Structure 1
Amino acid sequence: MSKFDEIRYFHDHEVNERLQSIARDPMMKALMNFTFPGVEEQVWLEQFKEVYSISDFQHQFVAYAVRQILAKSSEGLTTSGFDKLDKNTSYLYISNHRDIVLDTSLLNLVLLESGLIMTASAIGDNLVKRNFLNVLAKLNRNFLVQRGLSIRDQLTSSQTMSEYIDMLLHEENRSVWIAQREGRAKDGNDATQQGVLKMLAMAAGDQSLIEYFKTLKIVPISISYEYDPTDSLKMPQLLAQHRDEAYIKGKNEDFNTILSGILGQKKRIHLHAGDVIDTELDEIAATIDNKNKQLQAIAQLIDTSIIQNYKLWPTKYIAYDLKNNTDTYASQYTEQEKQLFIRRLEMRIDPADPVSKEYFLAMYANPLVNKLKAEEK
């Protein structure tokens, strides 16, 4: 047994058998009917028999599914910054996190269509407890982040994941995607958790922290949805925090969130690839000795890139003006866009509840607020 067996995605020699094991699952049928409407079940069942690698599965099925999601639930995906990346180089993509499945799926579609190395992607094992989802995730090159562990087990798990990411990047020349924080940002505030960077640093070995982070070739990714399809689903947790109450997830909450993220209306979407973090690390090494402070500075570099390169859609300006009862950014949106957003707000929360309204508007406005703060520094 490999020490990575509990978290790794499938090896290519395992793919055909694993795919066959879920081929007749009702959820697979629903997925294929969505991806290839009007195509008989027997057609794709036969095609599955010829799939012998993750690359086969991604090219022949997953890419089509993601394009269908874009066609049916968005007004298109735009990108910037990816043309600066090298097609033969593996990168560590660290992104803000809005949607459980789509963030990494959209990135990989962009990488595929740009001829860049696609990613192995981290996903919480709590999200793939159903056998179908677990197998599907590993067929799509997802590796598992183990949740709900004791403090002692967390340390061991973090060490294993750090070494696994290191192996993928440096031995297999495989790009990796991880979110900048555990869980999605539900309030629109994108901030890198230092614990994520500490986990990455565990595989540094004899190298200094800065030397090791240079080898990772970190590329910050800014993901911006005009409409968050899961905005109303994020509200109960935000309101529980407001009331200083413990929030307990419902039985099928994660699964429902995944479906809402995939099928819900997003309007326009933009992905930006920031510059590789490199020479900035030399400056940190020259001015900061303390390892924790170095990690703080690296987190700040990632945050600055993500926030400054975040595409501000009209919804962000509308929410800011509504929240602050102003028309400061009226030139950034039309009256029709404003009325559509107000209608969405009224349909998705109780507009008579001032706390709900405040949190809903803040969720959309905070990327603008954070960008303004970053520009003031």
Structure 2
Amino acid sequence: MSKFDHIRPFYDSEVNEAICSVVHHPMMKALMSFTFPDVEEEVWANQLRKTHSKRDFQINFIYNAIQQVLQKSSDGLTTSGFEKLDKHTPYLFISNHRDIILDTSLINVSLYDHGLIMTASAIGDNLVQKAFLHVLSRLNRNFLVQRSLSPRELLQSSKLMSEYICQLLTRENRSVWIAQREGRTKDGNDMTQQGVLKMLAMGSDEENLMDYFKKIKIVPVSISYEYDPTDMLKMPRLMAEANDEVYIKEKNEDFMTLISGIMGQKKHIHIHVGDILDKELDVIKEENDNQNKQIQALAQVIDDSILTTYKLWPTNYIAYDLLNDTNRFANHYTEKEKNLFERRLEMRIDIENKVMREGFLAMYANPVVNKMKYENAV
């Protein structure tokens, strides 16, 4: 027994048995029928039964599933910055978080296409309550972030997770993906939660925290979707917050968001890999001897990287202009693009509701606002 057993992905020795246990599950059938629409069920089922490693499962099945998602629900994925990475080096990718499944899946597709080490990825246990999804996540090299814990349990869970992440990076030569915050951003403001960095810091065996963060090679990543496929689903929470109400999730809300994110229209998608944090950590170390201040400074460095390299789309500029009743960025979009976005707005929300309209537009406009804070960034 390993102390990581309740959070880790399957070992390769467990993969075949896990696959065989779900090969006839209706959700596996739906996933494979979507992935291989012209292939007989017995053919893909036999291939699954012959699979004995997470890598083979990811490359032969999940990779193809993501290609189908891109083909059916996007105008394509572009990337930049991956060429800076070394093929044999594991990295800690810290990225902004927009979509439950796709953020990490698309990054792994890009890593594979560039011949780089794919990631083990953090996923909230609230997203894998269904037994099939739990098995699928473990096959896909996800490790569990435990939610809804008491403060004491949360501390123990954070220590365990930081230790596991450290083991992956320093002993197993495995890259790791983690979001810069708990949960997806609902308002388009991408900010690194210091709590995430404090959790990572628990795994440090260095005298100075910045030496540890240097050792595990942090790479900030920005991912942007031209259309957020779950934009409408984020409205109830934004409305509740605007009315100072406590938001309570619907029973199947996480699952519906997961499906909508995968199948909803995204148009263009871009992933940018930032520079590996190095000299910035030396500066933080020199300027701050207080650990909390170091964490604060590191969060800012990650934010700076993500916000300045975030790819802005016509939808972002259109939303900014509509929200502020201006045509400041009119040269960044066409009249047709503006009409399409306005039609989407009308179809997805009640535009007579001022709070809802402003919340929806702000979700798309905030990346522009954030980028404007950096001199000459726009």
TM-score range, shorter-chain basis?
A: over 0.9
CA displacement 1:46-84 (0-9 Å, x = unmatched) = 101110000110111000000000000000000000001
Q: Secondary structure at the match of 1:123?
A: strand
Residue in 2 that maps onto 1:287: 287
Residue in 2 that maps onto 1:95: 95
Displacement, 1:206? 4.2
Residue in 1 that maps onto 2:208: 208
Unaligned runs of 5+ in 2: none
Matching of residue 254 in structure 1 with residue 254 in structure 2: yes
Amino acid at match of 1:287: E
Matching of residue 187 in structure 1 with residue 187 in structure 2: yes
Matching of residue 33 in structure 1 with residue 33 in structure 2: yes
Q: How does 1:145-294 map to 2 (within 5 A)?
A: 145-294=145-294
The answer (yes or no) to whether the contact 2:74–2:269 under 8 Å persists in 1 is yes
CA displacement 1:317-336 (0-9 Å, x = unmatched) = 00000000000000000000
Matches of 2:131 and 2:200, distance apart in 1: 28
Residue in 2 that maps onto 1:16: 16
Matches of 1:111 and 1:182, distance apart in 2: 23
Residue in 2 that maps onto 1:120: 120
Amino acid at match of 1:86: D
Displacement, 1:289? 1.3
CA displacement 1:272-299 (0-9 Å, x = unmatched) = 0000001110011111111101000000
CA displacement 1:104-154 (0-9 Å, x = unmatched) = 000000000100000000000000000000000000000000000000000
Matches of 1:307 and 1:149, distance apart in 2: 31
Q: How does 1:284-363 map to 2 (within 5 A)?
A: 284-363=284-363
The answer (yes or no) to whether the contact 2:225–2:267 under 8 Å persists in 1 is yes
CA displacement 1:145-189 (0-9 Å, x = unmatched) = 000000000000000000000000000000000000000000000
Displacement, 1:190? 0.2
Residue in 1 that maps onto 2:5: 5
Unaligned runs of 5+ in 1: none
Q: Secondary structure at the match of 1:77?
A: strand
Q: Secondary structure at the match of 2:328?
A: coil
Q: Secondary structure at the match of 1:160?
A: helix
Matching of residue 134 in structure 1 with residue 134 in structure 2: yes
Matches of 2:192 and 2:198, distance apart in 1: 11
Matches of 2:30 and 2:244, distance apart in 1: 40
Displacement, 1:376? 7.4
Amino acid at match of 2:159: Q
Matches of 1:186 and 1:133, distance apart in 2: 24
CA displacement 1:240-299 (0-9 Å, x = unmatched) = 011010111001100000000000000000000000001110011111111101000000
The answer (yes or no) to whether the contact 2:94–2:180 under 8 Å persists in 1 is yes
Matches of 2:171 and 2:206, distance apart in 1: 17
Amino acid at match of 2:241: Q
Matches of 1:204 and 1:88, distance apart in 2: 22
Displacement, 1:375? 2.5
- Runs of 4 or more, structure 1, over 6 Å off, are none
Displacement, 1:313? 0.3
Q: What is the RMSD computed on CA atoms of the aligned residues?
A: 0.9
CA displacement 1:203-245 (0-9 Å, x = unmatched) = 1124310110101100000000000000000010011011010
Matches of 2:311 and 2:224, distance apart in 1: 6
Matches of 2:69 and 2:241, distance apart in 1: 32
Residue in 2 that maps onto 1:370: 370
Amino acid at match of 1:87: K
TM-score normalised to structure 2 length: 0.99
Q: Secondary structure at the match of 2:93?
A: strand
Displacement, 1:40? 1.1
The answer (yes or no) to whether the contact 2:206–2:212 under 8 Å persists in 1 is no
Matches of 1:138 and 1:189, distance apart in 2: 30
Matches of 1:137 and 1:79, distance apart in 2: 25
Amino acid at match of 2:214: K
Alpha-carbon spacing, 1:372–1:20, altered in 2? closer, same or farther (3 Å):
same
Matches of 1:63 and 1:206, distance apart in 2: 37
Matches of 1:137 and 1:285, distance apart in 2: 37
Amino acid at match of 1:82: F
